[in-house]
């Protein structure tokens, strides 16, 4: 018996082709079924559906298919588009700025270590030797690479904001995703500090450009913590919440180094007051990693980043690495030892390479920077050895991450529909040929 055909304008589609289209669509949407109980069911509007879905709906209703000229190629491309999900752009989220955080922090570290007359290098024998050993060209190359990576990431995210507004809005409301919206501005401020001296006249205007978004995010997030009943700090706090603190402290450190003492003090006070509250809240919840999925457990290293950056910021404001900076530095060392003694916490996160691995690098780099200032204030073999060890550790971690990123790029690139901060996709409901209702998520 001949297969029943549907067509429009001379083009024909066999039922078998439609069935394979339905299979492709169903496989594409398979991941979304994990959140079935969280999705809403939307009525189908065939005017707004993608071609594969349009084919399925018309076949289920036994209607003629609106196929245009060149439909064969168009149908194939449509099915291929569905099988790729929402595309790479959908899966690109603010968490990818972990890469720029690490590279910009490394650029600042290498600048500190390569400056022959700067700070610790003038007082420490180990740093004097290190500054002579590190070529200035290496720092300039690393700064240029960090700038290129940051510009590329910002361009991609700006494109996502224009084309995937629904996903960006969901990320803005996500307890983890919203904290990484600070990351691009932190990266720019770090890169500004690491910039060559020739760019000094632009420092203060650029500080305003990069610090203003941090202050706006402060108003939103900090305000929600004590005014929004659904977003109290006790409900929203997680290790990535410390990015909000780091943003203020980096802004304070940058303002101080540009000679703007009042702005530095203002941002430091905002960061430290909220850090005290946040640290106590997180410490009470620090009973494991139940609040985060296993793949995000590397963000626990942000416990190191906040006090390390606070130590550096206060050093810049006070003009010396005094008792306050030392206390924060010692706290960072204690937290590093606490995390390093619990490798089982990160075991599941290390099974497969992903962008969350880059969360290890930035905190270690900030701790290494604090160690260079500590070596300046406390001269001796122990402080020099500690500075060299932490600097070498941070460089090794970055090199390993770069190698993994190059070798296993496929694991790092976002996969369609794999956005951890995406809104739940709607369910499409239709009736199959046997009259039983079916639901497919898209």
Q: Which of 71-85, 160-174, 285-299, 312-326 has the highest mean pLDDT?
A: 312-326
- Given a cut of 50, is residue 115 above it in pLDDT? yes
Q: Strand pairing of 437-441 and 427-431?
A: antiparallel
Write the DSSP symbol of residue 58.
H
Pick the residue with more confidence: 404 or 78? 404
Per-residue pLDDT, 19: 39
Per-residue pLDDT, 69: 46
CA-to-CA separations, 209 to 97, 205, 218, in angstroms, rounded: 18, 7, 15
CB 397 within 8 A of CB 361: yes
- Given a cut of 80, is residue 59 above it in pLDDT? no
> Helices 381-407 and 125-133: crossing angle, nearest 10°?
30
Q: In whole angstroms, what is the distance from residue 359 CA to residue 101 CA?
A: 9
Structure-token pair, residue 146 = 């960090």
CA-to-CA separations, 45 to 50, 54, 57, 159, 326, in angstroms, rounded: 10, 9, 10, 27, 63
Instruction: State whether CATH 1.20.1440.60 applies to domain 89-412.
Output: no
Q: In whole angstroms, what is the distance from residue 165 CA to residue 277 CA?
A: 33
Put the strands of the sheet holding 41-42 in their side by side order. Answer: 41-42, 427-431, 437-441
Residue intervals in the chain for CATH 1.50.10.150? 89-412
Q: In whole angstroms, what is the distance from residue 100 CA to residue 355 CA?
A: 11
Q: Which residue has 């919206």 as its token pair?
A: 181
- Given a cut of 60, is residue 315 above it in pLDDT? yes
Per-residue pLDDT, 34: 44
* Average pLDDT score over the chain: 76
Helix (H) or strand (E) holding 335: helix 323-340
CA-to-CA separations, 242 to 250, 307, 406, in angstroms, rounded: 12, 10, 29
Q: In whole angstroms, what is the distance from residue 194 CA to residue 146 CA?
A: 10
Positive or negative: CA dihedral 125, 389, 134, 309: negative
pLDDT digits (tens, 9 = 90+) for 413-433: 766 545 566 555 554 454 545
Per-residue pLDDT, 291: 65
pLDDT above 90 covers a percentage of the chain that reads 42
Residues 6+ apart with CB under 8 A from 319: none
Q: Is the pTM of the predicted complex or chain greater than 0.85? A: no
User: Nearest Cα to 367, choosing from 130, 117, 106, 42?
Assistant: 106
CB 183 within 8 A of CB 101: yes
pLDDT digits (tens, 9 = 90+) for 338-354: 999 999 989 888 888 88
pLDDT digits (tens, 9 = 90+) for 375-388: 988 888 899 899 99
Give SS3 for 168: helix
Average pLDDT for 154-178 = 87
Q: In whole angstroms, what is the distance from residue 8 CA to residue 33 CA?
A: 34
Q: Which residue has 């069935």 as its token pair?
A: 19
Q: Which of 33-42, 59-68, 279-288, 357-366 has the highest mean pLDDT?
A: 357-366
Q: In whole angstroms, what is the distance from residue 260 CA to residue 252 CA?
A: 9
Torsions phi, psi of 207, nearest 5? -60, -45
């Amino acid at each position: 018996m001949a297969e029943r055909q549907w067509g429009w304008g001379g083009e024909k589609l066999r039922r078998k082709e439609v069935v394979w289209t339905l299979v492709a669509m169903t496989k594409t949407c398979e991941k979304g079924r994990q959140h079935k109980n969280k999705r809403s069911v939307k009525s189908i509007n065939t005017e707004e559906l993608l071609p594969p879905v349009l084919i399925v709906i018309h076949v289920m209703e036994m209607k003629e298919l609106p196929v245009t000229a060149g439909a064969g190629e168009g149908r194939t491309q449509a099915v291929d588009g569905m099988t790729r999900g929402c595309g790479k752009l959908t899966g690109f989220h603010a968490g990818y700025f972990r890469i720029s955080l690490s590279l910009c922090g490394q650029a600042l570290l290498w600048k500190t270590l390569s400056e022959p007359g700067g700070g610790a290098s003038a007082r420490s024998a180990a740093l004097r030797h290190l500054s002579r050993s590190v070529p200035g060209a290496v720092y300039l190359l690393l700064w240029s690479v960090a700038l290129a990576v940051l510009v590329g990431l910002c361009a991609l995210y700006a494109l996502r904001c224009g084309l995937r507004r629904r996903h960006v809005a969901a990320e803005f409301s996500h307890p983890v995703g919203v904290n990484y919206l600070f990351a691009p501005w932190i990266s720019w401020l770090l890169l500004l500090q690491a910039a060559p001296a020739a760019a000094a006249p632009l420092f203060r205007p650029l500080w305003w450009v990069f610090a203003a978004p941090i202050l706006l995010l402060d108003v939103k997030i900090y305000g929600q913590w004590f005014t929004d009943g659904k977003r109290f700090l006790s409900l929203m706090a997680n290790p990535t919440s410390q990015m909000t603190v780091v943003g203020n402290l980096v802004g304070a450190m940058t303002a101080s180094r540009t000679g703007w003492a009042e702005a530095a003090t203002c941002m430091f006070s905002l960061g430290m007051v909220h850090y005290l509250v946040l640290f106590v809240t997180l410490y009470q919840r620090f009973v494991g990693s139940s609040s985060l999925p296993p793949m995000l457990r590397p963000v626990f290293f942000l416990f190191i980043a906040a006090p390390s950056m606070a130590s550096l910021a206060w050093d810049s404001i006070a003009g010396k690495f005094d008792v306050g900076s030392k206390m924060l530095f010692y706290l960072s060392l204690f937290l590093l030892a606490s995390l390093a003694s619990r490798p089982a916490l990160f075991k599941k996160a290390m099974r497969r390479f992903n962008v969350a691995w880059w969360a290890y690098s930035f905190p270690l780099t900030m701790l290494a920077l604090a160690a260079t200032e500590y070596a300046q204030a406390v001269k001796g073999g122990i402080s020099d050895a500690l500075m060299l060890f932490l600097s070498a550790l941070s460089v090794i971690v970055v090199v390993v991450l770069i190698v993994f990123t190059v070798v296993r790029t496929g694991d790092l690139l976002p996969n369609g529909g794999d956005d951890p901060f995406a809104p739940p996709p709607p369910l499409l409901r239709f009736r199959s040929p046997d009259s039983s209702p079916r639901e497919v998520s898209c």
